[in-house]
A and B are shown apart, each in its own frame.
Chain A
């Protein structure tokens, strides 16, 4: 090789390395955390919830208007007693590998989910099914444990292919978790350390507009914003799921990016451990609630949202608008503590030698938690309550707070798939009642709600519970946030599903 050709080859290499143009028609988005798994059972974080929308489909789903609509199911009929339901499946649906989808797959999914050897957190979602049977290739009959007026609403779980598994006991280490096969509009082409590439499923029955999707694990939120900023010329990403309030102004008048609001069913709360003798005193809890300036906390650290007075978001049918959120009242808080016998000494109140000093455990993953916790500390100091913040990482938080319940105070968010189900949160020994809360009246109401089949009556019970919980303060209910996604203006026909996010992605278009 003479010098000239060597030089040319080098130039060529540099050009290939540095200047190859970005490929168009690929929809890219970053995720703060890597999907826990691509297998529906082992979905344990929101990024996994979102990506599974591309790959798998349920029997039915809620459409844009909120009505139940068939996806894999053509139609269905429930028995008059509400104890069984039969689904007629759509014909000619194929799995990503070309094999036909059938009733056997639905049966297998339920059997696998209920198998003791398949271990995952959300097994409860499948517990309502007593039995399932395939009637021919395209009909499935379910019998249920409890009567339900609209049993079809519970069949939104995703269906997996029977032919990929040897038995109904499925482990999370199965290869399927990485390279899954579904019936959805996209199939996994590549699954590397931080990049997942999905391409259009040519066998898909419903059709999709976008050719390919790339999901990149990008933990840093500034990096995500940076990628979106350059989305104009086909570079960067087309969608950032969550734009932090401090970055909103960057896109407010942007030519290339549009901010899209969407309503999640999620609310923040400040929780007490009711095992702590001081915190089991309602006067103390009320003093906490009156000491916090929630409006200022929200605006200063998290942007816009609604202040709440109970365990529901304002868009929920159960929210009781007659209950006003408490406003800050330092004087009243001091009076309450004074009356309860807590005397001030050296800036901290105490009674019988026990000071109002608490450990405040916060999950580091909570957005803006550090400045927020500092402001809360300052507010409480005004009334003579001392809190010691401890910021811990996610796995430690789960162990110490949620499992061992070793904490005095904490702050967190509850997110719900659709409507809030507060039974496990506040029922004595409820599965999510990690605050050791117990109130006989609340228990009675919650039990009544479980037995209620009539939607209107159920709504009334929830509204009463809203009022009771605002009075008794198992938590201080804080706020729900206005959430904005950032999307490139090249993406059109957008409809964001508040929880699963990409449910209607097949309609989205990319210019």
Chain B
């Protein structure tokens, strides 16, 4: 009897997972089409950018064909989409001529994603530690929390600019005295590629973790969740049993923390775009801006695709984790 019930549950879960995945895929198709269509209809195009005032009509037509601009928007998108399914996102045309979009966009996206996720993790860890350290809300905590929330309210790009100026000034002072060489990445914004030094990346991470009110926001949410779980009835049972309290609390905090994480990711991703520019990191923020400026259709679509996919994928993962931790989710959301 119970085995049959389990089987039924298993079925429901698989159907649910499949539905979710299909829905995510449909979202991805819709969003990529929107971006493709917008770019194709936007005024100004690659052919004019490349040939300028000098090209003949014949060479324009040839180049349009070479760049895949000779087809209508729908047909062009279908052709692109079919190739994209096989993993071929086409080649960059004006920004980095001849490079495979999938390669370039993925490389840059890894930088952006690493920066976003690491910054979020730093922020969540800090917020979590502070929430546990402070425990119950008390009036005297405001002495610490009020100035902290004011400082934290600054946008991350402002934090980034202040941070870089301070670091530059400090090192400059030091060098003036000793006449030695500065560190490889000095000054910031640096001249070095990310493969050579991780310093700008680390500073960018600090700026994002500390800016945009992210940290205080996380702290407030986590503290509220902590209290809710701490005051829940089952915790009394845990305490009565004399079992360790923290593991139980942590297990119950996984879902809310993940929700917070997923909800904040798009916000952090957009902050990253600006901060990347300040620290001259070769991330997708920089790539997207430059590619759009040069009307590099395949590259813009490719880079955006990774952005959208990341957000959709995070939501999917969240749903799955929720379902794994709390099976009621499956029946609730359907």
Contacts and interface: CB of A to CB of B under 8 A. Distances in A.
A30 B63 contact: no
Contacts of A18: 183, 185, 199
A286 interface: no
B186 A402 contact: no
A123 B62 CA distance: 15
Interface in B150-171: 168
A123 B46 CA distance: 18
Contact of A192 (B43, B55, B193, B277): B193
B291 to A, nearest CB: 11
Interface stretch (A69-77, A230-238, A471-479): A230-238
B104 to A, nearest CB: 7
Contact of A123 (B54, B63, B295): B54
A56 B23 CA distance: 53
Which residue, of A119, A120, A195, A236, has the highest number of chain B Cβ atoms within 10 A? Answer: A119
Contacts of B225: none
Contacts of A277: none
Given A173-B93, A178-B96, A431-B54, A398 B181 contact: no
Contact of A21 (B55, B184, B294): B184
A237 B179 CA distance: 17
A296 B254 CA distance: 66
A193 B287 contact: yes
Contacts of B51: 119-121
Interface string B41-61: 001111011111111001100
A209 interface: no
A500 B294 CA distance: 23
B183 A230 contact: no
Interface in A393-407: 393-400, 402-403
Interface residues of B, number: 58
Contacts of A219: 290
A17 B199 contact: yes
A399 B43 CA distance: 8
Interface string A133-175: 0000000000000000000000000000000000000011111
B175 A233 contact: yes
Contact of B52 (A121, A194, A195): A121
B202 A393 contact: no
Interface in A1-30: 17-23, 28, 30
30 contacts: A20-B183, A21-B180, A21-B183, A22-B183, A30-B191, A34-B95, A36-B50, A36-B97, A117-B62, A119-B59, A120-B51, A124-B54, A173-B98, A177-B98, A194-B286, A195-B192, A214-B191, A217-B290, A218-B280, A223-B280, A227-B187, A229-B187, A230-B168, A236-B187, A393-B293, A395-B48, A399-B45, A399-B48, A403-B48, A431-B53
Interface of A: 17-23, 28, 30, 34, 36-37, 42, 44, 116-117, 119-124, 171-175, 177-178, 192-195, 214, 216-220, 223, 226-227, 229-230, 232-237, 393-400, 402-403, 431-432, 434
Interface of B: 43-46, 48-55, 58-59, 62-63, 66, 91, 93-99, 104, 107-108, 168, 172, 175, 179-187, 189, 191-193, 195, 197-199, 202, 277, 280, 282, 286-287, 290, 293-295
